[in-house]
Amino acid sequence: MDNRVNNKGTIGNKGGRPSKSDEVAMIEKLTPMLSKAYEALEKGVEAGDFKFVQLYFNYYAGKPKETRDLNVNQEQPIFYIGEE
């Protein structure tokens, strides 16, 4: 036997997602500042600051999907046979 049955583990949610009650409490705490946040965002967009405009469009239209170029320009061996 490898004695895994003797491992007790940990109690609680050590590194996972915060509980729903914590999220609700944070939302309730931040709600009074919502109008100030919208005003600051509006001022930044009107000023033409790129970061504000980027943030606005990321939420308004959704963040664009990242694409990666998977074309291989040169053949590379997976492993070498013989000496290097």
Q: What pLDDT tens digit does each residue of the chain (84 aa) get?
A: 577 777 776 666 667 777 788 889 988 998 999 999 999 999 999 999 999 998 888 888 888 788 887 776 777 777 777 765
* Inter-residue contact 43 to 53 (CB < 8 Å): no
Domain ranges in the chain? 19-60
* Inter-residue contact 41 to 52 (CB < 8 Å): yes
Take residue 58 and report the two structure tokens written for it: 């990321």
- pLDDT at position 35, please? 92
How many degrees, rounded to 5, is the angle at CA 72 between CA 66 and CA 73?
Answer: 125
* Inter-residue contact 29 to 23 (CB < 8 Å): no
- pLDDT at position 46, please? 93
